[in-house]
Amino acid sequence: MLEKLFRNKELLKQALTLSHHGKSAPYERLEFLGDRVLGLIIADMLYHTFDKEKEGELARRFTGLVREETLAQIAVQLNLGEMMITKEHELRANRSVLSDVCEAVLGALYLDSGLEAVRSFMEPIWTPLLHMDKKAPKDAKSALQEWAQQHGHKLPVYTLIDKTGEEHAPRFIMQVDVDGLGQAIGEGTNKKTAEQTAASNLLKQVK
């Protein structure tokens, strides 16, 4: 399916070729580009789909549509894990890597055929996700803070537990504590993502 979209097959190959033992690879530059292309198209889709919503509501929807979990899910849907070119087979099921490669493919398609080609590719995949929530969802950190306040608990406290991985592909482990409620751990490619995951995990525990 993907190969038919590309005139320059080498670009797709670059997007799917992972770094080996921490060495840099072309897909990382394509991921950087794809992240921006993804953000622009999703923002445009939201702007025109939810024309009555305020900036804050659009921002919450945006976060859910471009987050690591969503991109990894789409990567699985597109079978990118099996298509990856790597000697480290465990990476094929790594959520962070799947997310990165998904963005790299979008970046490669943009270079190959332009913005409208990426839009045409993305719209059938992302449109159902746009309509999953009738109201703009709250991010996990905001939801946890509101839940804690409503139930008489102190505000959540986030702590960095560990940082692993190479400098170009770090993994952060954050812990969230709510006095009198409990704690939970979350991982992500940056602190913000890890905090959101930790908050989401704690919400699942208390609810």
Q: Which of 31, 68, 100, 103 is catalytic?
A: 103
Q: Which of 31, 35, 68, 187 is catalytic?
A: 35
CA distances from 14 to 8, 30, 105, 130 (A): 11, 8, 9, 29
Furthest CA-CA distance within the chain: 59
Annotation says 10 is catalytic? no
Give Cβ neighbours of residue 63 (< 8 Å, ≥ 6 apart): 139
Annotation says 179 is catalytic? no
d(CA 98, CA 61): 21
d(CA 55, CA 62): 10
Residues with active-site annotation? 35, 103
